[in-house]
Structure 1
Amino acid sequence: MNSSDELYMRRVLELAELGRGKVEPNPMVGCVIVKEERIIGEGWHQNYGEAHAERNAVDSVSNQEDIIGSTVYVNLEPCSHYGKTPPCSNLLIRHQVKRVVVSNIDPNPLVDGGGIRRMKEAGIKVDVGILQGEGERLNCLFFQQIIAKTHPGSVPH
């Protein structure tokens, strides 16, 4: 972790909040792309069933070549499965990012560490847990729904 990680993750959480009331039952997710200590792209999951935060952030970068070697900040682990959208972990691998900083691992059994594993296998450095508590609070209902579905009878916090 470097000194800027918290600063960029706070911006990610601000962006994620913009999806409140529009993405449920999916989580609110924000994404910031940083190159040479400068934000070059930002995005968030704007509406249910539409592009994820990572895709919107990548699309916001004016020169796509700048993404190579960048650091991506995202509050929830990039997905690793095909659903309404293709896997965001594949997108970041394809764009040759150097590092991904994640607030929370996605507890959804379709992801649950799979995105992180895939990126690490591709040689991307992944750091997890930056502002983890804030990320959990932002998406507490999402986390509770997943826990209730995957562990029936357990009591969500």
Structure 2
Amino acid sequence: MREEEKYMQQVFDLARKGEGRVSPNPLVGCIIVRDGDIIGQGWHNEFGKAHAERNAVDNVTDKNLLIGSTVYVNLEPCSHFGKTSPCSDLLVFHKVSKVVISNVDPNPLVNGRGIQRLRKAGIEVITGILSDEGEKLNATFFCRMKQKTHIETVD
């Protein structure tokens, strides 16, 4: 198993901790790695509260370690203001060097815009890691987004 897949499996496990508490939002987990060590991790644990990326960044004790780190997240970091500020902006602010993503967010408010913001800031972005598993994890969310229902309340 490749390193990206190993960390993404752990991200999926973290994401599942939000089951039953984040709907209509998707289940999202996040791990931050620096020099082979996990320095932060988090998940979206309640609707309307901080997203996985924010919780993972907050979990890092020395914020200087974020510079040059790699972020693993199962869904593209958001790029819009809602109940929270954009996670893509948070990662840009902390100067991470790489973001590894399982799935692009199908929400029309995001759908590639978070990736675009990251790349525009010079952050390397890799997508599609264990994407089938990621889509299964959030099958209800993906279906709802494809049917364009409930979009206005998702944040």
What is the TM-score of this pair, normalised by structure 2?
0.95
Unaligned runs of 5+ in 1: 151-157
Unaligned runs of 5+ in 2: 150-155
**1:45-60 equivalence runs, <5 A:** 45-60=44-59
Aligned partners of 1:123 and 1:149: how far apart in 2? 32
Aligned partners of 2:70 and 2:99: how far apart in 1? 6
Aligned partners of 1:38 and 1:130: how far apart in 2? 20
User: Which residue matches 2:152?
Assistant: none
**CA positional deviation for 1:149:** 1.2
User: Which residue matches 2:64?
Assistant: 65
Whether 1:76 aligns to 2:71 is no
User: Which residue matches 1:96?
Assistant: 95
Q: Is the partner of 2:148 in helix, strand or coil? A: helix
What is the TM-score of this pair, normalised by structure 1?
0.93
Percent of aligned pairs with the same residue?
59
Compute the RMSD of aligned alpha carbons.
Answer: 1.0
Whether 1:11 aligns to 2:20 is no
Partner amino acid, structure 1, of 2:37: R
The count of aligned residue pairs is 149
Aligned partners of 1:39 and 1:87: how far apart in 2? 23
Aligned partners of 1:3 and 1:30: how far apart in 2? 19
Aligned partners of 1:19 and 1:112: how far apart in 2? 22
**CA positional deviation for 1:89:** 0.1
Runs of 4+ in 1 over 2 A off after TM superposition: none
